Structure 1
């Protein structure tokens, strides 16, 4: 290593040692940046990291320059890091655009700068742009004008449609409209659409497809809400209850065809026809067709009737099954069978005659499904009822005005009862016991003041023949006996607060035929008739669900409000919740299976668990009901305690407890500032990290050698304040003359250098360097020589001299030109005097081209004789 190199290295190391010895904070690591490097970076690398205020000269690669646009510049270590943030930006040269107007002289742009380009008529930059931007990878779009795309309406045919406008040709990106013929629509169901002229032609492809409007539904409904349908679209419909289509089905589908809908979604009232029956069976009334709701009554001309004495016409046909007539004796029945969780009403006998009826009741907590009465039919009992457990419970016991409930303990299950009593001067009207039935309490009694109880008046009716005792009014709780015409026995009724119970009635109670066998319900084979007002609850088959109502009722001699058993619909994956997840079984096998299921059957339930710091305030599960999950729970964040305290800081509002999501803001004492986000948030019972209060004011300015402060020196400075200094004679300022107070620290380091003729290192140049080792300081009238890299041409004086502390103007290294074969091939040109594949030409050197054999000079082509100018050649074009 020579003496000069040793001297430079010693100076660098001494500077680094002095910087560390003064206690400066090291805040910048060795700079890593694209397309450039520091001068002497191998020697400087061991000194990093360095403190704020240091600066280093750097140069950029060929084709790049500092943002200032000069040949070299300084990289400065600041509070925010290295400055400039992007040290080397792309240089883009513009002097020629293909198929457009070019500049006479080349002009250099830096990364981020743009210019407008003027293309020849009928040409444009890519995508119709007129502006190019200098990017890291060069010009975008490239400097080439391409022929503008146009579209003609003759290029496209609209089947079943036509263009709305009269123009024939459209420029790139222009839009035009079209309409469809009557009975046709676009893909989106509109009567008109639009297409755009793009680089590859018209888009999107216009389309007019056959359509059908929504049909009129007669006694039928559909779940499809669309107002129009495409060709071959199917529309499903379902008939209303009691109706069917012409094909005797309650469901059907129609298709959209070229001629309209394939059928009409019409349904007609269902009719029942009587099949051929036993000749001994008398049927009344006799008709050819019967409507839904019609009744048929039966009797036998001889023998015994086996089966119901009447049936009813429903939308699913006659029910129950028709009876038969038996010539011989009918058999009696043994004791009725026991049923689980139920019992027979009344005492049991050893034998029961044909036609006898026995009733059943379920034990508490169980609900009776099916017929509550069975009948002995020729030695066999009809279908038994079923007692199913009722899981629904009743809530709190309702309050009774002027009354109280006797002691009882919840929960209250189906069949449980509670007893009420009235206050001393009040009388109870109604049943004193209230029952829990299927999750609801039966009607409460009333407590009426005893001295306000109303009397009952005798009802005037032509059907009542006699009344005992003979009065016009009856007191509360007194009994009246009455006899109907054409009857021998007396009926009775009790006066309850002005109303008769039961109400005197001489009209014969109407009965209904045996209950029907509803589709998809468990089998009911019964011959028992039910009186007006009686109800019957059915049980659906497996995989079916009862749809409201759950009971059918005997009313006006017919069964009405029939339940429906609909097929259970499975659910897809259960919903996800924020801050929570599905609680899976513990065993790995069960966990795996529950995750793998993509379908979950009706009734499936899942529970959720929350992440740490969150809880579920309500029900924690979801249930699948007919293909849909119930509303999932929410995981609510736990509250937080007081926010953490910080030295020299306070919060905007300090409480003992904060809800999830609440925020607080910190403030620092005078002279201190927030380091970090001033606002923190309560999330899941925890606060986010609080900020710190750091000193923002600066103490008195440190001494700067050979410098004087401009203005008055203060004991304290606020953050952001700047102080300007000047150098004492004969020293001159090297760099910035200001320092800034930033968060308690002085940023910047003015340097006053001796101005008596000495110079610093010679300035760097692009694509060249000095021929000797650079020194940190040069004596007056010292000189250094520059040389360019290979294929670069030195422009200016190669020698510069130090005079009065400044170097004379350095030379520049002009770019060489490379003439690749692929560029000449693209432009159909060759070199007139050379025949190599890749030619190097110095900047300023003349170059002459000529057309390849069979080609001639293109219109607007640059001249064939041109120059290499800073690495760029204005190539001619042949065609």
Structure 2
């Protein structure tokens, strides 16, 4: 144990300092003093130090692991004296940057011993290292810099008819894939998915779209509606028929069609309705002025005052008031035009200083003129002046002599030129007019015998008037036609209508979709007219009875006698199409025939009929055509052999001269996966043989197509005389003999591998045709045949009230029926609907319930006045006629 080795005593006596030295024993320094003192730091390593040191001893204190420094202690008079720096943490330097990642210090404030950095991957990237952190150790940073890789999305699977722009299989974060349809007749099922991107989580932003047929749905139309509520989908090029509300009109004049726009189907132009307004040109055109107007749009019923300039006018008026109509047009067009006069030569003017081919004279201009013989210039005028009311004086020339003596009677002694006199024949049923002209009287006629008045059994006639008589029946009788209670006839008419008893029935009425066969005798107790329906229609009763002088259907209206339950479009058959154009409705007994796609065969019947609103239930099936067993020279089948193989079935072959194997697949186009090469008489049938014979194959020249000898009657008008053609070259064939037709493709192309695209055609007599195709709402004249010769024609006749559009005949041309036509539907004018709209026929179409296509009917209000935008004169357009409204 160490003891104090020196003691110093300081004495103070009377403010004087007296030092007294006392000699003592030396003093040691202890470890505990250092540990408890202010110089100690926890980063020191004191494990190798002694518990005490003698005075004057100097020791070096080490640092703990991870720390560094130079620190010395010296024992001076029992106390430790330090020298140097304390222990500081060792620096590891920068931990290293990771690509696509950031890091931050999670422990510590600097890159020194004990600190920890944590790495975080950027958005769209993921950590692929096992750890995402590094520690600063005594030897430096532990581990390695972590690695971040981009998030990868799963493989996108799309249908074959979808075009992909981008990489759908190895897409990483940020990659974009765009979709479109390969066919112009298809659009994406979801336009919002036309562009997908791989997000930060490795997920696609949506589902891959599909390509579907171009279809448009019924759009919402503000201030308008679609009258046909039963149609919810429209195909490409279909027109949307919509109506606007009262005082609104379509925004566009063009019809809205279902059209492919970019990647989606839209109505073009967009169906929309806008308020009906009359437009006004602002600023006003030259010569026009509007009274207190600051806008150029006017609502129906609003008025506008138009004031024209001095030499301008509207219908010869200098000031007019026009009103905006309900159709968006002005009652008077609010535009003033220059007042001009006609440049045509006025009546009885001989010379005229106005050219017909030049511009019309303007208001205020004067022209020289002279009159014909017998006429003079009125009021002594020397010139004609163009005014707002035309040329003045008016007329320019007037008669100056009386040239005609008295003709008959005692009215006047003479008459001036152009005066007219009317004469009446003695029978008081004929009259004529004569005119005094320069050459004398013209228009003189003789009085002939009047048209004899006919005898009308059970009736009487009046007239004639203007060669026309009018007749009717006596009480208890009526006209046979049932079309009114009187009739008219010309003098040369052969026959008048009969007057029959009121208790008898007259002419049979017209029924839709059929006709009535008049009864042969009228004296039977029960008179009936047989009902004959058009093709595709049926009736609930066979006869229409006559009761009390009227044709009365039992419990039915005339329009419901002959009806038809329509079929919807026929059911879809996989891998098949229908051979006729698409229709929304099919009549009863209408047939449709299916045609299988290439590589498929029809099983069972190919035709079904519409029967009373339902299609026949037949098993129409198209099955894939099998592949016949493939014989390959120098190769055998390794498995079981069959005579035929189904589509997508695979067969393995083994080469006889080699131990290699290969597989061929039965596809729609035939066997695929087989290649043959003939080298020095050896046939190798497997793709593996290419490795053995690569040098010989590379030495082969490109194969050409050989032109074989042409069949009799076939010729090549533009072909150079060569026996081989290169890939891509084509041959075009014609027939040598007049009257022969090509059978096959007229043009073939040389393909890679020395193959022709199609077999060479042949020439021969033209092919005949089968039964002509069905035409809706039409019949064919004469009985149909199962086979027709080339050039034979078939005439189509539209049913009653239907109008034909297009050609009349279809002609058989080399196996194909040529000729386009269709039957346009008539319009049905419903009396109940007319009563609801308060309208009636204006000119008394008493029984005109059916109007053919393009026929025009004019209506009149039965009460109230005309409202709405529809005109009172309407035309039937393929079964559609809009009715105006009166309120």
Specify if TM > 0.5: no
TM-score w.r.t. the length of structure 2 is 0.24
Bigger Rg, structure 1 or 2: 2
TM-score w.r.t. the length of structure 1 is 0.25
Which of 1 and 2 has higher RCO (CA within 8 Å, sep 6+)? 1
